[in-house]
Amino acid sequence: MKSKAKAGLAILGLASAMTFAAPVLAQDAGFYAGAALGQSKVSIDCEGADTCDEKDSSWRIFGGYQFNRNFAIEFGYADLGEASAAGAAPPFGTAGATFETTAFDLVAVGILPIAERFSAYGKIGLYRADTDITASLTGFPSVSLSDSNSDLTFAVGVRYDFTRNLGVRAEWQRYSDVAADEFGESDVDVMSIGILWRF
């Protein structure tokens, strides 16, 4: 928990510094939208499991408003993919669980222009996640559960603008302590490449 708080504070400080790092340019203000594809990794506890799959494909759609060249507010929806684990459960046979998570997030974005078309950015905010869990045990019907929770999300990335309107982003984002009912909490990390269109 301390490391999560320190990471969040560090990114918040970076975003705040970026907000005042350069003069405001009116032409940088406006709405934008985009989509990203990537890979998610869920930090589930695989101790004792015979098979464990923590990675899956992930996607996110987002939109926001950029107030100036250094600051934006962004809202997104992400499919964080699926994670699963299975192992022997004597005397029944095999037990397993599959986790599927989606999340909405609202973040503040601090942007630091580095060159004419290249910039770095940091994001910090809150998410609301829905997690569906399917548990199975040999010889018994599978059981489906669901859980929802809210917590901190933060990210760092870089952006390259091909034109005034079209850009591409490479990003790492963490959704901290995504809950999975009695299975506990897990961080979800997403590495992605996305496109962005500014209106």
Q: Compute the distance between CA of residue 192 and CA of residue 21 in angstroms, rounded to an integer.
A: 26
Q: Which pair of tokens denotes residue 183?
A: 């299975």
pLDDT at residue number 19: 45
Question: Based on the number of CB atoms within 10 Å of its own CB, is 143 exposed (0-12), middle (13-18) or buried (19 or more)?
Answer: exposed
Residue 94 has pLDDT above 80, yes or no: no
- The answer to whether 106 and 65 are in contact (CB under 8 A) is no
Answer left, alpha or beta for residue 139, where phi above 0 means left and psi between -120 and 50 means alpha: left
Please give the average per-residue pLDDT across 83-112, as a whole number: 84
Confidence of residue 179 (pLDDT cuts 50, 70, 90): confident
Residue 24 has pLDDT above 50, yes or no: no
- The answer to whether 77 and 101 are in contact (CB under 8 A) is no
- Mind listing the pLDDT tens digit for each residue in 151-175? 999 999 999 999 999 999 999 999 9
Please give the average per-residue pLDDT across 67-92, as a whole number: 87
First CA to last CA distance, the chain: 39
Residue 182 has pLDDT above 60, yes or no: no
* 101 or 51, greater pLDDT: 101
Please give the average per-residue pLDDT across 16-26, as a whole number: 44
Q: Compute the distance between CA of residue 30 and CA of residue 199 in angstroms, rounded to an integer.
A: 6
Q: Domain 2-198 is in which class?
A: mainly beta
- CA-based nearest residue to 41, from 71, 99, 2, 80: 80
pLDDT at residue number 20: 45
Confidence of residue 144 (pLDDT cuts 50, 70, 90): confident
- Mind listing the pLDDT tens digit for each residue in 82-93? 887 776 667 767
pLDDT at residue number 198: 94
Q: Compute the distance between CA of residue 83 and CA of residue 191 in angstroms, rounded to an integer.
A: 16
- The answer to whether 102 and 77 are in contact (CB under 8 A) is yes
Whether the predicted model's global pTM rises above the 0.95 cut: no
* Mean pLDDT of the chain, nearest integer: 84
